[in-house]
Amino acid sequence: MKDLKLSVGDLPVLELKGKIAAAGAQLCSSGHMTGWLTLPSDYDKDEFERIKRTVSKIRANSEVFIVIGIGGSYLGARAVIEALKPNFYNNLSKAERTSPEIYFAGQNVNGSYLSDLIKVIGDKDFSINVISKSGTTTEPAISFRIFRNILEKKYGKEGAKERIFVTTDRENGALKKMSEKIFAILSNIGGRYSVFSAVGLLPIAVADIDIDQLMAGAASGQADYDKDDFENNQAYIYASARNYLYSQGKKIELLVNYEPKLHYLAEWWKQLFGESEGKEGKGIFPAAADFTTDLHSMGQYIQEGERELFETVLFVEESSSDISIPKDAENDDDLNYIAGKSLDFVNEKARIATSKAHQAGGVPNISIGIPRLDAFHVGQLIYFFEKSCAISAYTLGVNPFDQPGVEAYKNNMFALLGKPGYEDNQEVASD
């Protein structure tokens, strides 16, 4: 199988070779929260098979599957599912689908969102997978309470337990008593690095995506990106390129895609890099755009606005399906000059034209070519970003595996909601 194709143009990435090598060594020697490094080749085979058996039961008795989680507890799974399932998958007829409709909850506390989701489920048989290390994170805990209540009313308490699948800390999780179907959140892997654990694999497998191939792609990435040979290690080169650009005042990285299915891959990427690097007054701000769509909203700024950004462009080399542009006798839309051409052909020319224009406008471009959107190459891409991110963070001099700043909003919210134990924050609580 072809590998990912990284291009950094003429960026002088060798200038940071020593720093990147030191960061790589630090990552391999730290031992803290690095269980994901070897997970693709050294995972719990028994749990992996248990996931497959569980998935068979879910798909047999559920028309709808609800994944409840926030941040790393849902973004990785959603990224893979959205990338590999057909567009508008949930709208296909039951005969056209190979798995239940899949929806996500617990990533917000918006009443309209949950109300609308409950209406979508209607009288359909459904199961839920709640993913939370502690079981007490506010957003997913609220959604879980609501959906558990619906399940218990529909199926009774014992029947509901058969439809609740919990992914949590096996030792301390508050969710353990909610179901006998427990999958592990590994203590040495943080949420944003957890795609290849049960956190991601259970919902991905429910979606009828080949998790063996996903892990094989990740294992291929592990082998490739463990190399000490800088010039042949794409994870090192990407980390070096983005840190060089950061040193030149490029403080914003715009992850661009030309494939709508990659929208949630970018959302996962934003969390990965944002939480790993953004601390101690440092870090490249991770942003994302869907092209060509966003060229008609953000294109002007990218071309001529502040010169503090660079682009990393994702593109897929082989499309799974395509449409040709028909010829029209009237040609009122002046499109006959591309009649007979495919949409992929037009999309590719748009990508090349945009990259040339943006580079001429002072926006450096890094590009990553994905041979095709399949489980193997998506697994490889995810591991590539995980490894690059950890090395990049260490190069910046920050810990890739904590997120102390996330607690600030939580403490204020708990005070405003009157949660016991937060009464001392009187200034916030009185607002």
Catalytic machinery residues? 275, 296, 410
- What Rg do the C-alpha atoms of the chain give, in angstroms? 23
Cβ distance 256 to 311 under 8 Å? yes
Cβ distance 189 to 36 under 8 Å? yes
**Which of 332, 241, 254, 235 minimizes the C-alpha distance to 295?**
254
Cβ distance 68 to 147 under 8 Å? yes
Strand-strand pairing, 5-7 and 365-372: antiparallel
Number of H helices, E strands in the chain: 14, 10
**Which of 120, 91, 94 minimizes the C-alpha distance to 105?**
120
Question: Using CB atoms within 10 A of its CB, is residue 156 exposed (0-12), middle (13-18) or buried (19+)?
Answer: exposed
Residue type (1 letter), 59: R
d(CA 395, CA 203): 34
Q: What is the DSSP letter of 262?
A: G
